[in-house]
Chains A and B, each alone.
Chain A
């Protein structure tokens, strides 16, 4: 039906990287109908401060575990923070509330922040935190090579999806199955 084309249909491709199709007019109007409560809060000051709070709490928790050295504690803090923020900003798509008939269902939270604009203050802050945490972690792990590599990989996992060139880019296995059903 021409009036309501399926927004999720994508061209078949053998590449593991693919871009999301641009939004249709109806999707755009549904997205702009109301402020996106799932993404607007990241611009609040408290939302920035809570990152340092969470990192501090994580560090204290790992320090409390017997047998964890200072080096390991910093590395674990970095990795935990990175995994948490990856799930929150880059893995889960859509929004937990229902007010626009699923207009954001295909977008991660990072892509929803500031309506997808790049280099906004919130995005700069959110990119700066893992890089800062990486530099601190490597410093306090006394540049042990293994810890350095672990921290670096963890950092790259959250930095790469935040780059403007990763916007609406998805990684997945290509679909090579036949196009027509076996029956009918």
Chain B
């Protein structure tokens, strides 16, 4: 209370006229004041003449209401708005934008050297292009091959085709395809949502759903596009994906395009997966809840082994993730009736697993079913979402009807009779054991080459051993060149195998040079034995050279 009184007294003292006598300064001040008054009154006079001035005056008078603080406040607010209105536009997105003068632009244009429209091929590309084998006539277990590096080989055993069950030459499936071409023509002439789906496509989707024990399935026209389209259709920026660090190229493309937050776990290392899941869940514990997926492959194209599905399903429930499983290679190859990696584990001590525990399963008909295209199996809702939400379905013409029909036929054959799958398994076990024996006998297994793929896999991958490091083997390209020599020597002796070819610029995982041998059910034991001996002999000759 006392302070208030003091302040008031001081204020009163300050306002009260000072006792000092008049000076020249006071006179000058008075003159200025009177001049200002004259200006103000003339301004008021002319101001009143302006149209609308009465309204403004009335507003100011009525709004002032003997409250100068508030009037000043409103005036400041008004002035702020005026200042905002007259400020000129500027960009926040590009604050370091450099302004060039005409001379600068001319100089830069003169300096510019255009890149060639067709870039120069790299050494690896030249190797790839130069070693493409050309098959004359029909592809099958024995082929007539021409290669720029080897020449013409009339009869070569085909161990490079992914036609594992040998249905590309199956007369029943062929007959069915011919019949459908006569009935429906060769093209579908549109995307599925735009007249592209015919009754045979719908039938094929139902067959696939039945085959996978899922609620529904949807066809994709291209096998490679399946994974790279289904990932962005369900996952976008802000969603979290934990992926195996050996997934195939199509999956990598999908993960890149979808812009998800991506975390890798070490290939098939379940402890590492658990660690990454726990770490990621902790890292994003306060982030808005977005979709979280584990993405992995059934039978890995890059390593030739199976994922540990029971453990992944356990972890996915423990850490509340969804699972997207790419069974492109495993359908038709794994499991006693070819129903993939799920069936394999159901038959091997995990009968409790079911397709419903895997939210999305992608597959391919271009491999074991010897047709074309891919599919995604899942719940009705997940499949319906893709019909309008997956780019490869919405914007790409659906596959020709006869390919869908061929796939349906292959599925029906597989459901009736699994002898081909059994034969493939026998061939695989036989070939793998025999090849191992031959390589051991040649003293090259472990010292020169070693198996990457697991013993049960018909997709056999062989890499150069870490101990085998001749002086010429200095780079990735050199390793590829060495493997190509093995491939060429094998072809010269009548066995067609291939390198595990990939395009380095499109891979976001580390590359490893590998030989790729595909065992087929349509090969005889004798053909397999001969091929294994030849491969072992060639590897030995390379190592001693």
Assembly CA distance A127 to B78 (angstroms): 12
B70 proximity list for chain A (CB < 8 A) = 143, 148
Assembly CA distance A1 to B340 (angstroms): 30
Could you tell me if B262 and A124 are in contact, using CB atoms closer than 8 angstroms?
no
Within 8 Å by CB of A119, from B67, B84, B278, lies: B84
Interface size on B, residues (CB 8 A): 44
Could you tell me if B84 and A124 are in contact, using CB atoms closer than 8 angstroms?
yes
Q: Which of B90, B232, B263 gathers the greatest number of chain A CB atoms within 10 Å?
A: B90
In residues 142-184 of chain A, which contact B (Cβ within 8 Å)? 142-143, 148, 152, 155, 164, 167-168, 175, 180-181, 183-184
Could you tell me if A181 and B279 are in contact, using CB atoms closer than 8 angstroms?
yes
Given A101-B232, A143-B65, A175-B286, A135 contacting B78 (CB threshold 8 A): yes
B474 at the interface (CB under 8 A from A): no
B93 proximity list for chain A (CB < 8 A) = 23, 28, 115-117
A3-11, A38-46, A67-75 - interface stretch: A3-11
Smallest CB separation, A122 vs chain B (Å): 11
Could you tell me if A102 and B237 are in contact, using CB atoms closer than 8 angstroms?
yes
Q: Which of B78, B93, B255, B264 gathers the greatest number of chain A CB atoms within 10 Å?
A: B93
| Closest B residue, CB atoms, query A102 | B237
Q: Which of A1, A8, A142 gathers the greatest number of chain B CB atoms within 10 Å?
A: A1
- Determine the interface band of chain A, counting residues with CB < 8 A from chain B: 35 or more
Smallest CB separation, A169 vs chain B (Å): 12
Assembly CA distance A24 to B264 (angstroms): 21
Smallest CB separation, B100 vs chain A (Å): 20
Assembly CA distance A36 to B394 (angstroms): 22
Within 8 Å by CB of B91, from A27, A116, A152, A183, lies: A116
B287 proximity list for chain A (CB < 8 A) = 8
Could you tell me if A120 and B89 are in contact, using CB atoms closer than 8 angstroms?
yes
A115 proximity list for chain B (CB < 8 A) = 91, 93
Assembly CA distance A23 to B237 (angstroms): 13
Scoring A residues 88 to 132 as 1 if CB is less than 8 Å from chain B, else 0, what string do you get?
000000000010011101000000000111111000100110011
Smallest CB separation, B229 vs chain A (Å): 13
B88 at the interface (CB under 8 A from A): yes
Within 8 Å by CB of B81, from A101, A131, A138, lies: A131
Smallest CB separation, B336 vs chain A (Å): 38
B92 at the interface (CB under 8 A from A): yes
Assembly CA distance A120 to B261 (angstroms): 34
A134 at the interface (CB under 8 A from B): yes
Could you tell me if B278 and A118 are in contact, using CB atoms closer than 8 angstroms?
no
A103 proximity list for chain B (CB < 8 A) = 237, 259
In residues 59-77 of chain B, which contact A (Cβ within 8 Å)? 59, 62-63, 65, 67, 70, 73-74, 77
Assembly CA distance A163 to B114 (angstroms): 44
A63 at the interface (CB under 8 A from B): no
A148 proximity list for chain B (CB < 8 A) = 70
Within 8 Å by CB of A101, from B78, B92, B236, lies: B236
| Closest B residue, CB atoms, query A155 | B77
Smallest CB separation, A108 vs chain B (Å): 13
Using CB atoms and an 8 Å cutoff, list the residues of chain B in contact with chain A: 59, 62-63, 65, 67, 70, 73-74, 77-78, 80-81, 84-85, 87-93, 232, 236-238, 255-264, 274-275, 278-279, 281-282, 286-287, 508
Closest 7 CB pairs of A and B: A102-B237, A181-B282, A119-B87, A102-B236, A101-B236, A101-B259, A116-B92
Query: 12 A-B Cβ contacts within 8 A?
Result: A3-B256, A28-B93, A101-B236, A103-B259, A117-B93, A118-B92, A120-B89, A124-B84, A128-B81, A168-B92, A181-B282, A183-B278
